[in-house]
Amino acid sequence: MKRLTTLALGAAMLLAASPNAMAERQNPFLQPYDTKYEIAPFDRIETSDFIPAIKAGIEEQDQAIFNIIRNRAVPDFDNTILPLENLSPILERVSGVFYHYLEALGTPEFAAMADEAIPLLNDAQNKLFLNDLLFQRIKQVYDMRNEMGLTPVQKRLVEKYYRQFAEQGAALPADKKAELVRINDELSKLFIQFNRNLLAATNQFAVIVYDKDELAGLPESSVAVAAEEAGARGLTNSWVFTLHAPSRLPVLQYADSRGLRKAIYQGYTNLASYGDYSNYPVISNIIALRNEKAKLMGFDNFAQMMTSRVMAKTPEAATQLLLQVFEPAVQRSKEEVADMQAYVDAQGGGFKIAPWDYYYYADKVKKQKFDLDEAEVRPYFELNNVLKGMFDLTEKVYGVKMVPMPDAPKYIEDMQVYDVVDAKTGEHISVFMCDYFPRDTKRQGAWMEQMQSAGLYGDGKMKRPIVYNVGNFTKPAGDTPSLLTIDEVETMFHEFGHALQGMLTTAPYKSLAGTNVDRDYVEMSSQMNEHWAFAPEVLKSYAKHYQTGETIPDELVKKLEAASKFNQGFVTTELAGAALLDMMYGQTPAVDDVKVFEAEVAQKIGMPEEITFRYRSPYFKHIFGDDGYASGYYTYLWAQVLEADAWEKFEKDGIFNKKTAESFKKNILESGDTEDAMVLFKKFRGHEPDAKALLRLRGFEK
């Protein structure tokens, strides 16, 4: 998953200090970082630094806005639009670290500080986007953009600023602006509460196993991690399983104990659904406020407002795409369930397949059909080997080399930092950081973001980006290193695809650079990168047995390839189902009983009873943790259409074809938002996206 940055908020000046103050410790956010490539000096940052820096940055942003407004010259690109790109360097620096820590290093001390910081940041954004005098200057530039001799990219930047200010309510009358500020403030608090409830509920739940026989079927690495977790909790002769993916998923896939699988499954699917951490009332309030906001902005509903800003344009168009994929996926999932039920019956199971059986018996059927045991594969997926293979692939396809920076600042010891350079010239391209293991202060999932954007800065210099990937992969346990699951390998490649778009961008302005593209386009690069992970030529380059160093056998590679379309009914159904649920939330003015609404949607769309939405509402962070993917979760499937069609070109031309790779790099990875997404896609592919390419990729249609 990727959280998009919006238009740059920008820039500030250094605060003057008295001679006595100079002898005191300096807040690291208040001046440009003195580190290589201006990586944040994490070892010098303290929680107490954030609020003073945020306030200083906001003050500087206010002054920068005032300077734009009071300029008596006719508004143009240089005196109105360019300054918006760099309103406050201090605020930009502190925000880059603040929002990262909020999700990856949310200690209790930091969380308490964030309660004060987030309203300040929201207020600063409101003052920016709802400033009528500023908007009038932007509108004047927008209205005259065709007569100003602007380059196409400059014109696009003008249009983007105008659109975003309008979408944020800049054109509203004063009374409606005040109402919008109230709604945004309330929503922000609800998002904080949703995320906090989810993290607390995740950390609170655990299943303790006292009988070793209950562990039958589980990989040794999973048992070792569970034993370490028990030890960390002061428990002996027991094993503790949590809801973090590296603990939860092996239980669902491998545990012979149906009772253990059920306990973990129900714990996960009821996450944040009861008690002090229930997100049900939070969701009801979010839906009501979003509906208010949409009406205020002149739309019939929230989904209409959100889809108007991206490639789909309407909820109806997005829903049509979803159903086009959902219906054949459901039919395939019924075939998959029938295969599992036949397996259970043949074994004398005497029960009907339930949701907590799906992963387990899918694995059994896969083993039966393809003679593939995923536990047999994991020893070949040692994390560092996979990482090296991914980097080697990147150098081969895109001419980009990853050089370790062992002395770079780190906020956590087991993260890794790389200098990303041109493989031929050695020219610096970006900084890449990765933080892959779960901890109590990190939310679930995996994501990409940036601490510094590429583009033109206030001092007239072009800077290169600082990009990071965060994950929750299987940790080392005892003498066993981190051995990734197939899903974790895919996730690593996925998030690195986002990182590539962030790192390789050549867009000249921050607001157009990297992943600052339409929501239903941003997932294309990440999903595209997944394809290389299990391509036989790539797989054999990195899949080495962690004990023997042996390359993964050809026989195992063939099995993986043969099984690549297995269980696609389930995968696509749970994703499309969640996207349809999201779209229906966005078209509903109020939901008093979230649990009932969710069940009604499942019945209406024909969700198979053996399959749950990929995310049930109380832990559907994509749509209730912020507005990022709200009424936009469908974009994963739209992006899969783009990616499936694009990959067919690589398959036709050869997956290492230099001309094809160069075209993809130029038109997709480097371009950012410098041109319309459809134009860029057609430049690479030669035609508009073919929706049937996704059905072919999933094996639903030939």
Q: Is residue 465 part of a domain?
A: no
CB 615 within 8 A of CB 622: yes
Give catalytic residues, as residue numbers.
Answer: 495
In contact, 578 and 620? CB cutoff 8 Å: yes
Dump pLDDT digits (tens) for 455-508. Answer: 999 989 999 999 999 999 999 988 899 999 999 999 999 999 999 999 999 999
Q: What is the CATH number of the domain that holds 59?
A: 1.10.1370.40
User: Is 120 a domain residue?
Assistant: yes
CA 375, CA 139: separation in Å to the nearest integer? 60
Residue 85 to residue 468: CA distance in whole angstroms: 22
d(Cα 265, Cα 247) in Å, to the nearest integer? 12
Regarding whether 34 and 125 lie in a shared domain, the answer is: yes
Q: Is pLDDT at 207 greater than 80 in this prediction? A: yes
Under 8 Å between Cβ of 503 and 448: no
Tell me what the mean pLDDT of segment 576-601 comes to.
Answer: 97
pLDDT band at 72, cuts 50/70/90? Answer: very high
Look at residue 367 and tell me if it is in a domain: yes
User: Where do we find the tokens 């990022």?
Assistant: 628
pLDDT of residue 311: 74
CA dist., res. 278 & res. 351, Å (int) = 32
Q: Is position 232 within any domain? A: yes
- In a domain? residue 92: yes
Which residues, 6 or more positions from 298, have their beta carbon under 8 angstroms from its beta carbon?
Answer: none
Whether the pLDDT of residue 21 is over 80: the answer is: no
Give the tens place of pLDDT for each residue, 83-127: 999 999 999 999 999 999 999 999 999 999 999 999 999 999 999
The mean pLDDT of 589-601, rounded to a whole number, is: 97
- The answer on 166 and 23 residing in a single domain is yes
Q: Which of 251, 252, 203 is nearest to 226 (CA)?
A: 251
Q: Round to whole Å and give the CA distance between 119 and 87.
A: 19
Q: Which of 520, 533, 519 is nearest to 491 (CA)?
A: 533
Give 521-584 as a 3 state SS string. HHHHHHHHHHHHHCCHHHHHHHCECCCCCCECCHHHHHHHHHCCCCCHHHHHHHHHHHHHHHHH
Instruction: Compute CA distances 272 → 269, 434, 438, 541, 613, whole Å.
Output: 9, 28, 19, 42, 15
Name residue, tokens 């009932």: 596
Residues 123 and 247 in one domain: no
* Residue whose C-alpha is closest to residue 310's, from 636, 65, 87: 636
- pLDDT at position 209: 97
Same domain, 28 and 164: yes
Strand residue runs (E) in 360-496: 400-404, 416-422, 428-435, 447-452, 455-456, 462-463, 466-470
Please give the pLDDT value at position 20: 46
One domain for residues 164 and 209: no
Specify the number of domains making up the chain. 3
Would you say residue 11 has pLDDT above 60? no
**Which among 581, 605, 631 is the end of a domain?**
631
Kindly state whether residue 343 falls inside one of the protein's structural domains. Answer: yes
Residue that has been written with the tokens 């039966």 in this structure: 368
Q: Say if 211 falls within a structural domain.
A: yes
Residues 36 and 108 in one domain: yes
Half-sphere exposure of 110 (CA within 13 A, CB side): 16
Residues facing residue 419 across a β-bridge: 403, 431
Do 74 and 136 have their domain in common? yes
Average pLDDT over residues 511-519: 93
Taking residues 159-171, report their average pLDDT.
Answer: 93
Please say which residue of 584, 599, 631 terminates a domain. Answer: 631
Q: What is the rounded CA–CA span in Å between residue 183 and residue 294? A: 11
Does residue 695 carry a pLDDT above 90? no
Q: Greater confidence, 376 or 13?
A: 376
Cβ-proximal residues to 145 (8 Å cutoff; 6+ apart), any chain: 155, 158, 159
Give the domain range for residue 46: 19-129+131-171
Domain match, 237 and 120 both: no
Question: 58 with 91: CB under 8 angstroms?
Answer: yes
What is the average pLDDT score of the chain? 93
Residue 82: inside a domain = yes
CB 153 within 8 A of CB 509: yes
Please give the backbone phi and psi of residue 326, each rounded to the nearest 5 degrees, phi first. Answer: -60, -45
Regarding whether 151 and 53 lie in a shared domain, the answer is yes
Work out the number of other CB atoms within 10 angstroms of the CB of residue 440. 11
Cα 373 to Cα 18, 217, 366, 455, distances in angstroms:
67, 12, 8, 47
Q: In 10 A of CB 305, how many CB atoms?
A: 23
Asked if residue 310 and residue 266 are part of one domain, the reply reads no
- Check whether residue 335 and residue 213 sit in a common domain: no
Could you read off the pLDDT of 405-438 as tens digits, one per residue?
Answer: 999 999 999 999 999 999 999 999 999 999 999 9
Cβ-contact 566, 366 below 8 angstroms: yes
**With 70 as the cut, is the pLDDT of residue 570 above it?**
yes
On whether the CB atoms of residues 561 and 684 are closer than 8 A, the answer is: no
d(CA 362, CA 178): 53
Cα angle, residue 274 at apex, residues 269 and 279 outer, rounded to 5°: 80
Largest Cα separation within the chain, whole Å, is 84
**Mean pLDDT value of segment 342-369:** 94
Q: Is pLDDT of 263 > 50? A: yes
pLDDT band at 5 (very low <50, low <70, confident <90, very high): very low
Judgement on whether residues 28 and 166 belong to the same structural domain of the protein: yes
